C-alpha cells in the first residue's frame, strides 16, 4: 500500500523549475529519505505534498487525499516539521504543545494522555514548564516533533530536521523516528546529510528538481558503475589540488582526512595517482580500493546526468 504517490509533479517559480516531473512512491510504514544539496527541490516537494504549496503540473495523493482537491482533509492526516519550526520562545513546552493541539482541534479529553505519552516518548517530561527559548537545539526539534504529532498523523514530513543539531541529539531523534515506524507512521525525511540517508528504508537522490534514482541505500551505492580508490595523504588538500583536472580520475571527494577517487580501472587509476603525487613530492600514507559511499554514488549519478 502506498502512502505517497506522485505523477509528473512540477513546480516553477518564474523561469526556475524547482521540481520537474517528479514521480515518487512511498510505501506505508516506511521511512523514505529525500536526499540532495541545498536548492535541489526537497523543501518545495514537501510543501506541495503537505498541501501548503500548489503544484503547477502533475498529480499527487498523500494518505489517500488528492493534494489539489482535498487539501483540508489532507492537513488532518499529515504532520509537518519544517526547517524552521514555529515555536513560540516565550511560551513553555506545554503551552506550545497545547497551542498546536488547539490548531489541530484535538479535544481536551484526548490531549492529556497524548501529551503525557509524547513527552515521555521524547524524554521531555522534566521540561514541561521550561520556555522554548531556553531549550537546546536538539530539544527544540523534539518539541517541534511533538507538536507535529499531537493530532496523530498517518504521514510525517520532516524537512532537514537535524540540521545544526549536535550528534547526540541527532541520534536520539532517530531513535524516536524508529519508534514511530513501529506504530505504522509513514515518514518522508529530507536531508543533505548522506550518513543519515543510510538509516532510511529507501532513498531518492534529487538534484536541480529532478529525482535521479530511488532504491535502498546499498543498491544506490552499487549504482556508481565505477570503482573507488581511497587515498590518505600527509596533506590531503594539497593532494586534491594536484589530482584535480586529470581525465582518468572521474571525481574527487574529500571524506574526512581521505580522498575518494572514482575510476574506471583501479589498477590504472592507482598508477595515475601515484605518478601525479610523486611528481609533486606528496607522500601517500595509504591507497586502496574501497566500497562506494552514498556521496560517491550521488556524485557519480549527477555526473552521469550532466554528460547526457
Q: Which residues pair with residue 187 across a beta bridge?
A: 31, 156
| Judgement on whether residues 49 and 187 belong to the same structural domain of the protein | yes
- Start-end of H helices in the chain: 42-49, 71-77, 93-103, 108-121, 137-149, 167-182, 194-197, 217-221, 236-243, 266-279, 294-306
Q: Is residue 62 part of a domain?
A: yes
> In b/e form, how buried is each residue of 256-291, taking b as 16+ CB within 10 angstroms?
eebbbbbbeeeeebbebbeebbeeeebeeeebeeee
| Judgement on whether residues 7 and 36 belong to the same structural domain of the protein | yes
The interaxial angle of helices 167-182 and 137-149, nearest 10 deg, is: 20
- At residue 307, the pLDDT reads 60
| Judgement on whether residues 271 and 213 belong to the same structural domain of the protein | no
- At residue 276, the pLDDT reads 93
Close Cβ partners of 4 (under 8 Å, ≥ 6 residues apart) = 24, 25, 26, 32, 49, 60, 61, 62, 155, 186, 188
What are the backbone angles phi and psi of residue 147, rounded to the nearest 5°? -65, -35
CA distance 57 to 126: 47
Calculate Rg over the CA atoms of the chain: 22
| Judgement on whether residues 258 and 194 belong to the same structural domain of the protein | no
pLDDT of 280 higher than 80: yes
What are the backbone angles phi and psi of residue 239, rounded to the nearest 5°? -65, -40
pLDDT of 46 higher than 80: yes
Cell numbers linked to 117:
505519552
Q: What DSSP line would sit under 210-252, residue for residue?
A: EEEEEE-HHHHHGGG-SEEEEEEESSHHHHHHHHTT-TT--EE
**Domains in the chain, number:** 2
CA distance 199 to 30: 11
pLDDT of 306 higher than 70: no
Q: Is residue 298 part of a domain?
A: no
| Judgement on whether residues 104 and 189 belong to the same structural domain of the protein | yes
Q: Which domain holds residue 232?
A: 227-291
CA distance 52 to 67: 9
Q: What is the CATH number of the domain that holds 231?
A: 3.30.70.100
| Judgement on whether residues 19 and 121 belong to the same structural domain of the protein | yes
CA distance 138 to 129: 17
Note whether 243 and 276 are within 8 A (CB): yes
Cell numbers linked to 142:
523534539
Cell numbers linked to 139:
530539544
| Judgement on whether residues 176 and 270 belong to the same structural domain of the protein | no
CA distance 201 to 215: 9
Q: Which one of 192, 220, 248 terminates a domain?
A: 220
| Judgement on whether residues 100 and 233 belong to the same structural domain of the protein | no
Q: How far is CA 129 from CA 4, 134, 156, in A?
A: 37, 11, 26
Lowest-confidence pick of 2-6, 78-82, 135-139, 161-165:
161-165
| Judgement on whether residues 171 and 199 belong to the same structural domain of the protein | yes
| Judgement on whether residues 238 and 279 belong to the same structural domain of the protein | yes
pLDDT of 85 higher than 80: no
| Judgement on whether residues 240 and 190 belong to the same structural domain of the protein | no
> In b/e form, how buried is each residue of 97-136, taking b as 16+ CB within 10 angstroms?
bbebbeebebeeeebeebbeebbebbebeebeeebbeebe
Give the residue among 59, 56, 119 at the shortest CA–CA distance from 93.
Answer: 119
Q: Is residue 154 part of a domain?
A: yes
- At residue 48, the pLDDT reads 97
Q: What mean pLDDT value characterizes the chain?
A: 91
Out of 13-17, 189-193, 222-226, give the one with best mean pLDDT: 13-17
- At residue 163, the pLDDT reads 81
Per-residue pLDDT of 117-167, as tens digits, reads 999 988 899 999 999 999 988 899 899 999 999 999 999 999 998 887 788
Lowest-confidence pick of 10-19, 54-63, 226-235:
226-235
Q: What is the CATH number of the domain that holds 131?
A: 3.40.50.300
Q: Which one of 162, 193, 220 terminates a domain?
A: 220
- At residue 308, the pLDDT reads 57
Amino acid at each position: 500500500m502506498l502512502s505517497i504517490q506522485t505523477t509528473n509533479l512540477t513546480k516553477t517559480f518564474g523561469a526556475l523549475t524547482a521540481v520537474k516531473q517528479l514521480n515518487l512512491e512511498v510505501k506505508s510504514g516506511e521511512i523514505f529519505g529525500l536526499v540532495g544539496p541545498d536548492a535541489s527541490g526537497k523543501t518545495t516537494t514537501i510543501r506541495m505534498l503537505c498541501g501548503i504549496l500548489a503544484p503547477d503540473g502533475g498529480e499527487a495523493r498523500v494518505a489517500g487525499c488528492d493534494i489539489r482537491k482535498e487539501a483540508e482533509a489532507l492537513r488532518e492526516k499529515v504532520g509537518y516539521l519544517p526547517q524552521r519550526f514555529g515555536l513560540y520562545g516565550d511560551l513553555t513546552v506545554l503551552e506550545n504543545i497545547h497551542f498546536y493541539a488547539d490548531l489541530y482541534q484535538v479535544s481536551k479529553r484526548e490531549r492529556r494522555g497524548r501529551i503525557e505519552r509524547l513527552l515521555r516518548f521524547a524524554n521531555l517530561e522534566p521540561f514541561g514548564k521550561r520556555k522554548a527559548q531556553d531549550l537546546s537545539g536538539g530539544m527544540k526539534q523534539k518539541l517541534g516533533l511533538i507538536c507535529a504529532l499531537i493530532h496523530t498523523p498517518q504521514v510525517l514530513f520532516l524537512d532537514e530536521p537535524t540540521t545544526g543539531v549536535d550528534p547526540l541529539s541527532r541520534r536520539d531523534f532517530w531513535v524516536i523516528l524508529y519508534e514511530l515506524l513501529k506504530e505504522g507512521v509513514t515518514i518522508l525525511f529530507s536531508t543533505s546529510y548522506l550518513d543519515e540517508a543510510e538509516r532510511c528504508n529507501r532513498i531518492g537522490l534529487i538534484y536541480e528538481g529532478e529525482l535521479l534514482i530511488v532504491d535502498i541505500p546499498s543498491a544506490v551505492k552499487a549504482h556508481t558503475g565505477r570503482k573507488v580508490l581511497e587515498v590518505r595523504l600527509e596533506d590531503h588538500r594539497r593532494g586534491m589540488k594536484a589530482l584535480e583536472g586529470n581525465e582518468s580520475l572521474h571525481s574527487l571527494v574529500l571524506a574526512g582526512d581521505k580522498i575518494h577517487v572514482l575510476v574506471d580501472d583501479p589498477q590504472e587509476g592507482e598508477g595515475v595517482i601515484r605518478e601525479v603525487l610523486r611528481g609533486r613530492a606528496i607522500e601517500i600514507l595509504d591507497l586502496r580500493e574501497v566500497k562506494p559511499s552514498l556521496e560517491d554514488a550521488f556524485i557519480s549519478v549527477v555526473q552521469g546526468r550532466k554528460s547526457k
